[in-house]
Chains A and B, each alone.
Chain A
Amino acid sequence: MNKQLINMGSLCIGCGAGIIANEIIKSLNEPAIFVLATGCLEVGTTTYPHNSWPYPVIHANFGNAASVASGIARARKFNQKINKNLQIIAIAGDGATYDIGLAALSGMAERGEDVLYICYNNQAYMNTGIQKSGATPIGAQNSTLLKWEVEQKLYPKSVIKIMLAHKIPYVAQTIPIFNNDLTAKIKKAINIKGPKYIEILSPCIRGWYYEPKDSLNIINLAVETCFWPLFEYEDNQLKINYVPENKEKISTWLKLQKRFTELSKDKNLIDKLQKQINKNWEELLKENN
């Protein structure tokens, strides 16, 4: 079995999506079929006649990765030779998950389809040119920026919580490379029957405006500030996977990314945001106990 993408195709240097795809592939010892939603990962790795994928892969539309995966999951029952180990893995960005494909994802979860759904969240429609998505955080510069208070809440909606409300057997949040957290979660998820949802914060050099060499640094800081805690839910039971010893301030994270230039000037809003992050983190710790 091949253990990585054949190459990164036309993905940007330092792109989180490519790193994530490789981490997923490396975690697999089983045969797998990948379903891609339209987005950077799909476009970057499958431009005809090129194909980076060492596994069978299908891309249909933007908002239907969960539904296409459902069809394959049912088809698996007619393939007696491999049906025990075969994994169906859907990978979609935040636009395809939070917005246009949310109903399809909900349907997949509600029907109990045996699919691992992975959302790589780079917090905007990066492939079409950095437009705001349902996952865009407050103050993040994008090409469709409106007044923050009008268009965006302090915190974007939580698809993690939406998935928890579906009571599916496994829900987790992680980042590309951090103590093998991602690999461990993939390995755990594929041994669980039923719908699984893993959301991965994915750094984007174009949309977040930073130097490619800072990719991993930036993504680690999202965890150290508790903006993006690492946790997992097995049967809706929370486990926090990492507790920072010294929590970093959110302003440190914001400063590294030019998309937050305007926000960084707004002390009031940063204070509000810091308070919200603290509150979320405390709630999470409380739930963990």
Chain B
Amino acid sequence: MKKISLTGNEAVAYALKQVEPEVISFYPITPTTEIIQLTNKYILEGKMKTEMILAESEHSALSACVGAAACNLRTVTATASQGLLYMHEVLTVASGLNLPIVMIVGNRSISAPLNIHNDHSDTMAVKDSGWLQFYAENPQEAYYLTILAFKITNLIKIPAMICLDGFITTHELTKINILSDKEVKNFLGKKDKQKSLFNFEKAPIFGQLSLPDSYLYFRFKLAKKIKKSKKIIEKTFTNFNQKFQTHFNLIETFNLTTAKNIIIASSSICGTIKETITQNLKEWGLIKITTYRPFPKKSLINICKNKEKIIILDKSLTFKGEKTGHLYEEVKEALFDLQEKPKIFGEVVGLGGKAFSPKDLKKLIQKYE
């Protein structure tokens, strides 16, 4: 296995070069622009055979992916923040039509006020649009998850977002393990045969009008598919882990065997939490949510049932009238049926790129000790 120094954006671009999706469609937005600049360079240098569409808006960028994906081709786009919100209308169509599109999101705050730095407000705002969501802790995970997303979406026929923290992960330079081109190609295999606009004999239709007598059926079918996807994701992760000595799962745990209390979080902040636990918080463990959609409810219940306290750290706000985040809401709901519930607290941190240091974490934990 090769080790090279790459930023998160570079790592994703490298993965895309190896996957070689047929169509990339993109509209520039900070902090993901580098991904497309790099892939475009790879295309010009003849290192990947891909059609690049430089769209006039995010709405159109994703729409072009919808068109290409309906021809049963691998497609990818990248965006963040307002760009993701501008795509929202098309997101639900992509999932409703069962199109295996992959999207890279450099998580960024949403306006107003305008802010280009990291939090999870953008992907949390679209968490229920029928897409799978995976959160990468660092450039290494972003690289692997990008490859995995193409495999998983091909198996499940549902689009997926790979989320990495804007600037923190997109621009973080680290040494990462790189698979060989052959390993990537072999792992992905051939694309499944599926409904395609290129099937002229069958003349299929995508996106019909559905009246009240059938609409419910289609939406429940999508919900069922996402529920079923959990097993396929777990299986694909296991397969990947065995082949490439990685540790992907719906969730990742840290220091949980002895700890009575748990912090739950996702993405780059988990690096900070792990470090702090190792240094001064031996009483605490961590659950990192890698797969947010589908939500790993069962795994959480199994781990949390005998614990005392749980603190959920969110990088997004719900605006429901209390200062709580989305992950907090989901975890609380997931643990509601437990007979003996741990005490559950939620904290919103790091909005708009505000730094969250080990010192901040220690101070925050002290409130609950």
- Chain A partners chain B: yes
Q: Smallest CB–CB gap between B231 and chain A, Å? A: 29
**How far is A107 from B62 in the complex, measured between Cα atoms in Å?**
13
Judge whether A82 and B198 touch: CB under 8 Å: yes
B207 at the A/B interface (Cβ < 8 Å)?
A: yes
B22 touches A61 (CB 8 A): no
Majority SS of interface residues in chain B?
mixed
In the complex, are the beta carbons of A60 and B23 less than 8 A apart?
A: no
Say yes or no: B73 contacts A60, CB within 8 Å: no
A71 close to B200 (CB less than 8 A)? no
Q: Judge whether A75 and B56 touch: CB under 8 Å.
A: no
Chain B positions within 8 Å of A63 at CB level: 59
Residues on B with beta carbons closer than 8 Å to the beta carbon of A244 = none
CA distance A68 to B62 in the complex (A): 8
In the complex, are the beta carbons of B67 and A35 less than 8 A apart?
Answer: yes
- Asked if A71 meets B65 with Cβ closer than 8 Å, knowing A47-B211, A56-B197, A58-B206, the reply is yes
Residues of A within 8 Å of B205, CB to CB, are 46, 51, 53, 56-58
- Find out whether the CB atom of B55 lies under 8 angstroms from the CB atom of A60: no
Q: Which residues of B contact A256 (CB under 8 A)?
A: none
Q: How far is the CB of B128 from chain A (nearest CB, A)?
A: 18
CA A60 to CA B59, docked complex, whole Å: 11
Give the total of B residues in contact with A, Cβ under 8 Å: 42
**Contact-residue size bin, chain A (C-beta under 8 Å from the other chain):** 35 or more
**A62, closest chain B residue (CB):** B89
Contact indicator A60/B51 (Cβ below 8 Å):
no
A64:B90 contact, CB within 8 angstroms: yes
* A69 interface residue (CB < 8 Å to B): yes
The answer to whether B67 touches A48, judged by C-beta atoms less than 8 angstroms apart, is no
Q: Is A61 a contact of B63 with CB atoms below 8 Å?
A: yes
The reply on A77 being an interface residue by CB < 8 A is: yes
Cα–Cα, bound, A104→B63 (Å): 10
With A and B bound together, what is the CA distance between A55 and B205 in angstroms?
Answer: 8
Please name all residues of chain A whose beta carbon is closer than 8 Å to the beta carbon of B22 when the two chains form the complex.
75, 78
Q: Hey, which chain B residues are within 8 Å of A33, CB to CB?
A: 197-198
- The residues of B that contact A47 with a CB separation of less than 8 Å are 208-211
Q: How far is the CA of A67 from the CA of B334 in the complex (A)?
A: 40
Given contacts A48-B211, A110-B56, contact A60 B63 (CB under 8 A): yes
Interface residues of A in 215-269 (CB under 8 A from B): none
Give chain A residues whose Cβ lies under 8 Å from the Cβ of B61: 67
Instruction: State the Cβ distance, A177 to closest chain B Cβ, in Å.
Output: 25
A48 to B22, CA, bound (A): 31
Beyond A71-B64, A72-B70, list 15 extra A-B contacts (CB 8 Å). Answer: A43-B209, A56-B204, A57-B205, A58-B67, A58-B205, A59-B207, A61-B90, A63-B59, A64-B63, A67-B55, A68-B66, A70-B55, A70-B64, A71-B69, A75-B73
- The contact sample of 21 A-B pairs, CB cut-off 8 A, is A47-B211, A56-B205, A57-B205, A58-B205, A60-B67, A60-B93, A64-B59, A67-B55, A67-B63, A68-B66, A70-B63, A71-B53, A72-B68, A74-B64, A75-B71, A78-B22, A78-B71, A82-B198, A104-B59, A104-B63, A107-B55
Name the 9 nearest CB pairs between A and B, nearest first. Answer: A71-B67, A107-B56, A71-B64, A67-B63, A67-B60, A64-B63, A59-B207, A75-B71, A71-B68
